[in-house]
Structure 1
């Protein structure tokens, strides 16, 4: 029978290769998580953009109907004032509210 003889240098080389593989795998996992988080953020932004456009179109249609049908006085003020208030509220909230989500290591421990 043949016996397998391994030198200490070969054992250290094998351990080094395993260490490098583990580090590469860990780095790949972190990059995958970062990419997934970036994708979720962009999807939220696109969804928000779509809702903004739809609401803007609805507001413009209502204003156009009221103005073309000779809306006068209070009706014209409401048609132009209410959307302006909603837009200013939304813009102020979007520019001042920030969310901070701290990173946790080790899962959801408390």
Structure 2
């Protein structure tokens, strides 16, 4: 059994193979970009959820002390201490500490 291919057929086969490789690489790049975008969105959503839960806990404790407590020192502590923690958390959440930009081919993490 012999295979007789002309030069045109060989070039056509190489061209098809090259096209398949290019489409595959483009698809993998798009998939990586989509995964990076999803990861960034999940980080923001996770941070937002934690901030909301902590805010609810702080408000609940403050409500208990205001509604049932009679000590003014305790009232100031309950209002002031969470304000400090909230300010720290919001400052940390709103401060950009890393830039997730495009990478060059040689960069490794």
What is the TM-score when the length of structure 1 is the normalising length?
0.80
Cα distance change of structure 1 residues 27 and 71 upon mapping to structure 2, 3 Å threshold: farther
Report the alpha carbon displacement of residue 95 of structure 1 after superposing the two structures with TM. Answer: 2.1
Gaps of 5+ in 1: none
Name whichever of 62-71 and 13-22 sits farther off: 62-71
Query: Over aligned residues, Cα RMSD in angstroms?
Result: 2.3
Report the alpha carbon displacement of residue 22 of structure 1 after superposing the two structures with TM. Answer: 0.4
Report the alpha carbon displacement of residue 20 of structure 1 after superposing the two structures with TM. Answer: 0.6
Higher relative contact order structure (alpha carbons within 8 Å, sequence separation ≥ 6): 2
Find the counterpart in structure 1 of residue 45 from structure 2: 46
Deviations 1:27-77 (A, max 9, x none): 111111112222222222222222112111110111001111244422111
How many residues matched? 108
Gaps of 5+ in 2: none
What is the TM-score when the length of structure 2 is the normalising length?
0.80
Structure 1 ranges of 4+ moved more than 6 A: none
